[in-house]
């Protein structure tokens, strides 16, 4: 499905950028490929969605917004929501306190933001500056709920918590769910041929760029054209290969190259996907079924990168190539299976047995 581009010259001036990936051996190599555009007059998401600019998930290249390396602060002044009188419940016949107006909810999923980040507020209203943002499709723990400012007639706010932020989001943009991100299948192996060693140049939860959407990503320092293997069985959900020699983003580039990058996304039976980013080329095609250890591409330095390396992450299947990352543990990494920065790991993928 194509996302219509509504970017205008005005929106291009207000681009919110989420970085991903980061330094390699020689220095910074940001490879974060996402950018959201804001129209100057568009309301923030917790007062109503506006036009969106999403990373292009299709094979066809399209004009991209000019990403800005500086995250744009959420607009601080917000239009007043339309006052909507909350329906008063019928007086209870007994004097007991009314039950909680919303059922207990272990998790909420961010919905209906039209691709915008969702503001997390310090209080259940829009008076305070946002303390963070969530991405559409993200599932977070709901600590409690409370009545607050009416947004589009909805007065309920969830108090949510992630590793990065605690605060309130309007129930307009959150759906109660008891679903949690699926546990790793324990079926993932490093994306390298049997016996190949590499160094993790950026691990999970880094201050640099593996946070937020990319929190559970890994960067591996790899020479150009290193074969990359499927980390688990799957099917090719997306493959972008249009960045070829001669393209200004072929051998790395700055923020303007954030979306000009080759990648493969595999979908897995546990509901997750895996992303193989900065490829020189892909060796699979859309819809291909692949088995663990099958060649999916060759490493490169396409996109926002200072040179060849590979960024991989396990992520949700959100309809884009850039989705909320989920924990990823490799069977062939000793201990927890989660390598840390500067750790050297050796792949057992494709070794057989
Ligand atoms: Zn990375």
Ligand 1 centroid from CA 31, angstroms: 6
pLDDT tens readout for residues 261-288: 999 999 988 889 999 999 999 999 999 9
Ligand 1 centroid from CA 219, angstroms: 5
pLDDT for the residue numbered 111: 84
pLDDT tens readout for residues 86-111: 444 444 444 454 444 555 788 888 88
Phi, psi angles (nearest 5°) of residue 341: -60, 140
Ligand 1 centroid from CA 14, angstroms: 24
Ligand 1 centroid from CA 191, angstroms: 14
Its pTM stands at 0.53
Ligand 1 centroid from CA 259, angstroms: 14
**Which of 170-174, 268-272, 307-311 is predicted least confidently?**
268-272
Ligand 1 centroid from CA 218, angstroms: 6
Ligand 1 centroid from CA 209, angstroms: 7
Ligand 1 centroid from CA 119, angstroms: 24
Ligand 1 centroid from CA 181, angstroms: 21
pLDDT for the residue numbered 176: 86
Ligand 1 centroid from CA 126, angstroms: 33
Predicted confidence (pLDDT) at residue 293 exceeds the cutoff of 70:
yes
């Amino acid at each position: 499905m194509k996302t219509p581009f509504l970017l205008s010259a005005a929106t291009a001036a207000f681009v919110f950028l989420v970085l991903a990936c980061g330094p390699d051996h020689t220095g910074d190599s940001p490879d974060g490929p996402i950018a959201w555009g804001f129209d100057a007059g568009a309301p923030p998401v917790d007062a109503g969605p506006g036009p969106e600019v999403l990373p292009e998930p299709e094979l066809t290249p399209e004009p991209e917004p000019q990403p800005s390396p500086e995250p744009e602060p959420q607009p601080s002044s917000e239009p007043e929501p339309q006052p909507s009188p909350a329906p008063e419940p019928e007086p209870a016949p007994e004097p007991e306190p009314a039950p909680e107006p919303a059922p207990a909810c272990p998790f909420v999923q961010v919905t209906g933001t039209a691709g915008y980040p969702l503001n997390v507020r310090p209080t259940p209203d829009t008076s305070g500056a946002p303390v963070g943002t969530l991405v559409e499709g993200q599932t977070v723990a709901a600590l409690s709920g409370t009545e607050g400012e009416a947004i589009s007639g909805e007065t309920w706010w969830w108090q949510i918590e992630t590793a990065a932020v605690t605060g309130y989001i309007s129930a307009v943009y959150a759906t109660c769910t008891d679903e949690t991100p699926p546990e790793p299948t324990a079926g993932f192996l490093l994306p390298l041929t049997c016996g190949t060693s590499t160094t993790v140049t950026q691990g999970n939860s880094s201050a640099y760029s593996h946070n937020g959407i990319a929190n559970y990503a890994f960067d591996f320092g790899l020479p150009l054209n290193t074969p990359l293997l499927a980390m688990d069985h799957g099917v090719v959900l997306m493959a972008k290969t249009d960045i070829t020699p001669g393209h200004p983003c072929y051998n790395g580039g700055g923020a303007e190259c954030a979306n000009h990058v080759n990648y493969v996304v595999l979908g897995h039976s546990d509901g997750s996907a895996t992303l193989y980013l900065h490829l020189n080329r892909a060796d699979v095609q859309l819809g291909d079924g692949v088995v663990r250890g099958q060649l999916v591409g060759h490493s490169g330095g396409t996109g926002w990168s200072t040179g060849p390396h590979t960024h991989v992450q396990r992520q949700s299947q959100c309809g884009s190539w850039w989705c909320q990352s989920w924990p990823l543990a490799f069977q062939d990494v000793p201990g927890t299976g989660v390598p840390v920065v500067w750790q050297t790991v050796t792949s057992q993928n494709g070794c057989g047995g």
